[in-house]
A and B are shown apart, each in its own frame.
Chain A
Amino acid sequence: MSGLFRKKNSLYLSDNQPLTVVGMIGLVVSYVILLSWVVAILWPLSQMIMSAFNGKQAQYLMSNRNFAFSWKHFQFLFSETLYLRWVLNTLFIAGSTAILTLLIVSFTGFAYSRFRFKGRKASLMAIMLIQTIPAFAGITAYFTMHSIIQNYAPWVTRQLMLILIYSGGGIAGNTFVLKGYIDSISTELDDAARIDGCSNMQVYRLIIMPIAKPMLAIIALWSFIGPFMDYMLPAILLNRPQDYTLASGLFTLMNDFRTMNQPAFAAGGLLTAVPIVALFMVLQKQLVSGLAKGAVKG
């Protein structure tokens, strides 16, 4: 009878077994590790944000307790450097890379998943192998190719070259990912669409692509973020400051004492996150289901 009158909050509702002493210690250790991880990530970030808005900071970043809110580093960024130009360059390169990658990968992924042709297996294996070689390894080849191409087509700028390298590098791996995703879509849908009157191209456009949207969103995001993160290729390939991407441009505020302005670098880095966050928010709905399914599909 006493059970009936027991207070509600004394009921043990968890499906897990009650913790033992060892379990308790383990839990504490886990939390300590996780918390230090959080600090390791958030501390530099918070320093960056503080410095970006700290009017008391001069050319070099110093950790001191003086703080005065000001926009002056941002003002410096927009008036004294080519920051806006770099943003546009990066958006152009990242956007073009994403679109080009998406277009080609959607075709190759569809073809590898749905058609049987000679050399299908062999070329898939080749794609797997190519994936393991970093794009940077071909840097000398890129230089040579670029100088040859520019003899015939002077309009192929170094930025265009960069776009081709990025999207070319992305096609291999993403084809694999998308093929796996499309493989999971029943071919009975293709059959039904064919009977309903679709050509191959219409099956691709009206049936498969809309269903593969979550995975396409992830591929778009990955290829878009790539150029934001990469420093090496633009630093080597691009030789004029007005061609620089954000990564290579902002780096000039760090490594060259003539142009050194570390708080401005922090401010620029902070602003860089804006377009990526914006894209992430737009694609959020697609991304969640895409990531979940991608996790199962590998």
Chain B
Amino acid sequence: MKVSLRNIGKKYEGREEFTLKDINLDIEDKDFCVILGPSGCGKTTLLRMIAGLNSITEGDLLFGEKRMNKVPSKDRDIAMVFQSYALYPHMTVYDNMAFSLAMRKEPKKLIHDRVMEAAEVLQIQEYLYSKPSDISGGQRQRVALGRAMVRKPAVFLMDEPLSNLDAKLREHMRVELVRLHKALGTTSIYVTHDQVEAMTMATKIVLMNEGVIQQAGIPDDFYNRPANIFVARFIGSPTMNIIHGSMDKGKFVAEHKLIKIKPSEADAKKLKDFEGKKVSVGIRPERFDSRGEYGDTFKAIVDTVEMLGKEKILYIKLENGSELVVSAPGHYEFKEGADHSFGFDLEAIHYFDSETGLRIN
């Protein structure tokens, strides 16, 4: 089912400011939409509004063509997986999964079939009759998913469901969640603060900060064409390098004058209007070129090297002490304290307007 948000705003009781304002978003049928953002950006509020757990102060929430603002949660045809899993501790796993259907007074036979079906998909048949306190975190996670699945909802909501799992299990569940999403054919909305989860699982990412949507689109755009400096710095690890400076005679000159970049022809056209104005340049750590084939190079000292195996993270220092982060393939040799020349991959340079933070090229 298509979920549309039109000028949605939320103001909590007893607060002066709107937590969310003018949120416009379309989530297509069968999308896996990940709402991403730092803590306190309003992403969970947004999800809870879609779920009907928080009221909508202004704007319209549409499921398909139907306005859902005043529809109670249980009639929205949704299911939700909570961060704490929220399993009912006094019921067995089976009863937990059967609860929503039992509340709807579905026939016993149908409930049993649905629970067994979900249990088989999630491989939790062995402990159907255990209490949630007797099973492990990963198993509880599956039960929480199962409880949502038996409903066969049109919209699947998830609020940081993987944050309580250890790293290995999280990696495994990421893949499984995507598989499940495809098998169920529902629309999924997933809230997280983890960019890796967003990049790997989403068909559409919505990045929020301070109650405003910063960018919405496919994961590839987020990495390669961030809409503003916030997005550029939020996505990608290590963080993108941002160099502040200005345009001078068609060339970018950094504030400390140690870095000069001649933009590519396509970029130069878009930068024409910014002659003499303040511009920030963003470059991903892996898009430096240490052989300096690309014209504009700069000298720096390798300060610290972090060995990660497949890559090395170099913290390099310019003459004036300002730091940049460079990532190089793991088999390259770098000595700490050595001088090096670095160049840029001109195709991979992001130009931002320093005043507004918005992307130029």
Contacts and interface: CB of A to CB of B under 8 A. Distances in A.
Contacts of A297: none
Interface SS, A side: helix
Contacts of B216: none
A186 B82 CA distance: 11
A192 B82 contact: yes
Contact of A195 (B51, B83, B88, B89): B51
A191 B104 contact: no
Interface string A197-222: 11000100001001101000000000
A198 B72 CA distance: 10
A193 B89 CA distance: 12
A188 interface: yes
Interface string B126-141: 0000000000000000
B133 to A, nearest CB: 11
B90 interface: yes
B100 interface: yes
Contact of A207 (B51, B79, B88, B147): B88
B53 interface: yes
A186 B86 contact: yes
Contact of B83 (A188, A198, A210): A188
Given A197-B103, A198-B103, A189 B90 contact: no
Contacts of B90: 210-211, 213
Nearest to A198: B103
Nearest to B81: A192
A15 interface: no
A3 to B, nearest CB: 40
A193 B104 CA distance: 12
How many interface residues does chain A have, given as a range? Answer: 10 to 19
B73 interface: yes
B74 A197 contact: yes
A116 B13 CA distance: 10
Contacts of A197: 74, 100, 103-104
Interface string A104-137: 0000000000001000000000000000000000
A285 interface: no
Contacts of B48: 191
B161 to A, nearest CB: 12
Interface string B57-82: 00000000000000011100011101
Contacts of A191: 48, 51, 53, 80, 82, 86
A250 to B, nearest CB: 41
Contacts of B78: 195
Nearest to B85: A188
A296 to B, nearest CB: 17
A297 to B, nearest CB: 16
A195 B73 contact: yes
B84 A188 contact: yes
A170 to B, nearest CB: 25
B342 interface: no
A193 B84 CA distance: 14
Contact of A192 (B52, B80, B104): B80
B88 A189 contact: yes
**Which of B52, B86, B99, B100 lies at the interface centre, i.e. has the most chain A CB atoms within 10 A of its CB?**
B86
A80 interface: no
A293 interface: no
Contacts of A256: none
Contacts of A213: 90
Nearest to B99: A196
Nearest to B78: A195
A89 to B, nearest CB: 36
A198 B74 CA distance: 8
Given A195-B79, A196-B147, A213-B90, 17 more contacts: A116-B13, A188-B82, A188-B83, A188-B86, A189-B88, A191-B82, A192-B147, A193-B99, A194-B53, A195-B51, A195-B52, A195-B78, A195-B80, A196-B74, A197-B103, A197-B104, A198-B103
12 contacts: A116-B13, A188-B82, A192-B86, A193-B99, A194-B52, A194-B73, A194-B74, A195-B78, A195-B80, A196-B74, A196-B99, A196-B100
